[in-house]
Structure 1
Amino acid sequence: MKTLLHPTYFPNIVTTALMVQKDVIWEVEDNYQKQTYRNRCVICTDTGRHFLSIPIKHVGGDQGRQKYKEVKLDNDYPWQRQHWRTLQTAYRTSPFFEYYEDDIAILYKQPYDLLMDFNFETLRVISECLQIELPKTRTTLYRKEVPKAMLDARFLVRCKNEQEFVQEEYVQVFGDRHGFINNTSILDLLFNEGTNALSYLNNFNLNFLNA
């Protein structure tokens, strides 16, 4: 089934499972909205569930809304250095961090101008780590409604009011302190499960999406 998704910052496990199992089309013609996974992802730290948020340059005044693909990163703040240090602290003891470290680190060593471009780079790197082909099809116009034969999974970009579902647990670094934290960034699965991550995603139950 063709599935419409937003390109997000190191996508969560549900989004990545859709990438693995379905024929994905990327939504690139929508307007940017705050408090979404467009510029944030969830990781597990010693304090529990933690958001890594990318600062962006907001457009105000008469310009109003802006297209997602036109949103610029606020590189005046050293967010890349901060994010990479946080990832190192959170996952350096995970079984596969060193295995993927160099692939992920490069994303934080060169500047990017646009949020969407950076997000597609994270998707490219993750696809290479999982050894899957990155979906290339993108929308050419925005449609509020999609054809019935297509799964509209764009709602997965929202951070609030997320749909509840049961996720098969795997061992997380700080699981003994906080219990299992579900639907984290794909990075959490990758650093903890390594080469088993693709099998996990292939077997991920997407029935709650009616997919």
Structure 2
Amino acid sequence: MMTIIDSQYFPSIPYLSYIKASDEIWIDAKENFVKQTYRNRCYILGPNKVQPLSVPVKNGNRKIPMDEILIDYKHDWIKDHWRSITTAYNKSPFFEYYEPYIHDILHRKPERLLELNQDIMSFCLKVLNIDTKVNLTNKYESGEKGQIEDMRSKIHPKKDYICSKIKDPIPYPQLFGQEFAAKLSVLDLLSNTGPESDNYL
């Protein structure tokens, strides 16, 4: 059975855990963009609270396929994201090892959101030692006939984990806060646990 999942910006930890546990995944390049999801946002833990980072896109209110969604660079959001990421993690034990790669990915300024997310995915697969085969779809799969395992929007910032393969993250050391913050970006895991991140997943 074909497993289809949405594309994510600096993916959430449960998302990457799910991918690591799979043999092959198809990222939906042809679904319409959905607002207020991980497709163009992630969450990091800063000195004061959990902070969302959102990539602005053009015409996000319209029904436009993911592989056609353009990033809006009218505002210097890259500067804002980079400042927030470094403020959150520059004192963490492992951020310095990943910092140049994350910086380069953000500052390449690709035209399309999917291209940015795929650059991030390639980075994640490498540093987390994930050998899952990850593909892009070339047409929209509705899944109406039960021929696919549809994971699109199942891992969502406003939803509980409803798939049996996805559980709340196990706590790991974090730099800020007295209580463990779940549903964060892989940036938090890498910065705080470094080479143990793949074992954690």
With the length of structure 2 as denominator, give the TM-score of the two structures.
Answer: 0.89
Instruction: Please name the residue that 1:183 is paired with.
Output: 183
| 1:126–1:78 CA distance, 2 compared to 1 (3 A) | same
Using the TM superposition, give the Cα deviation of residue 57 of structure 1 relative to its aligned residue in structure 2, in angstroms. Answer: 1.0
Using the TM superposition, give the Cα deviation of residue 147 of structure 1 relative to its aligned residue in structure 2, in angstroms. Answer: 6.0
Could you tell which deviates more after superposition, 127-136 or 110-119?
127-136
Structure with more of its chain in helix, by fraction: 1
Instruction: Please name the residue that 2:152 is paired with.
Output: 154
Tell me the distance in 1 between the aligned counterparts of 2:132 and 2:120.
11
Partner-residue secondary structure (3-state), 2:136: coil
**For 1:80-107, what per-residue CA distance to the aligned partner results, in whole angstroms no more than 9, with x for missing partners?**
1111111000001111001111111111
| 1:196–1:149 CA distance, 2 compared to 1 (3 A) | farther
Could you tell which deviates more after superposition, 142-151 or 15-24?
142-151
1:87 aligned to which of 80, 85, 88: 85
1:173 aligned to which of 172, 175, 192: 175
Gaps of 5+ in 2: none
Tell me the distance in 2 between the aligned counterparts of 1:110 and 1:140.
25
Could you tell which deviates more after superposition, 146-155 or 92-101?
146-155
2:75 aligned to which of 74, 77, 101: 77
Taking every aligned residue pair, what percent have the same amino acid on both sides? 31
Partner-residue secondary structure (3-state), 2:154: helix
- Contact 1:31–1:66 (Cα < 8 Å) also in 2: yes
Gaps of 5+ in 1: 202-211
Instruction: Please name the residue that 1:25 is paired with.
Output: 26
Could you tell which deviates more after superposition, 87-96 or 165-174?
165-174
Instruction: Please name the residue that 1:44 is paired with.
Output: 45
| 1:157–1:91 CA distance, 2 compared to 1 (3 A) | same
Tell me the distance in 1 between the aligned counterparts of 2:31 and 2:161.
22
Instruction: Please name the residue that 1:141 is paired with.
Output: 139
- Contact 2:12–2:183 (Cα < 8 Å) also in 1: yes
Tell me the distance in 1 between the aligned counterparts of 2:177 and 2:126.
27
Residue type of the alignment partner of 1:117? E
Using the TM superposition, give the Cα deviation of residue 20 of structure 1 relative to its aligned residue in structure 2, in angstroms. Answer: 1.0
Residue type of the alignment partner of 1:96? F
Instruction: Please name the residue that 2:198 is paired with.
Output: 198
Give the ranges of 4+ consecutive aligned residues of structure 1 lying more than 3 Å apart after TM superposition: 133-136, 146-150
Using the TM superposition, give the Cα deviation of residue 133 of structure 1 relative to its aligned residue in structure 2, in angstroms. Answer: 3.8
Provide the aligned C-alpha RMSD in A: 2.0
**1:126 lines up with 2:124 in the alignment:** yes
Partner-residue secondary structure (3-state), 2:84: helix
| 1:140–1:99 CA distance, 2 compared to 1 (3 A) | same
Could you tell which deviates more after superposition, 135-144 or 188-197?
135-144
Tell me the distance in 1 between the aligned counterparts of 2:27 and 2:41.
17
Tell me the distance in 2 between the aligned counterparts of 1:13 and 1:103.
19
With the length of structure 1 as denominator, give the TM-score of the two structures.
Answer: 0.85
Could you tell which deviates more after superposition, 26-35 or 150-159?
150-159
Tell me the distance in 2 between the aligned counterparts of 1:54 and 1:87.
14
Instruction: Please name the residue that 2:5 is paired with.
Output: 5
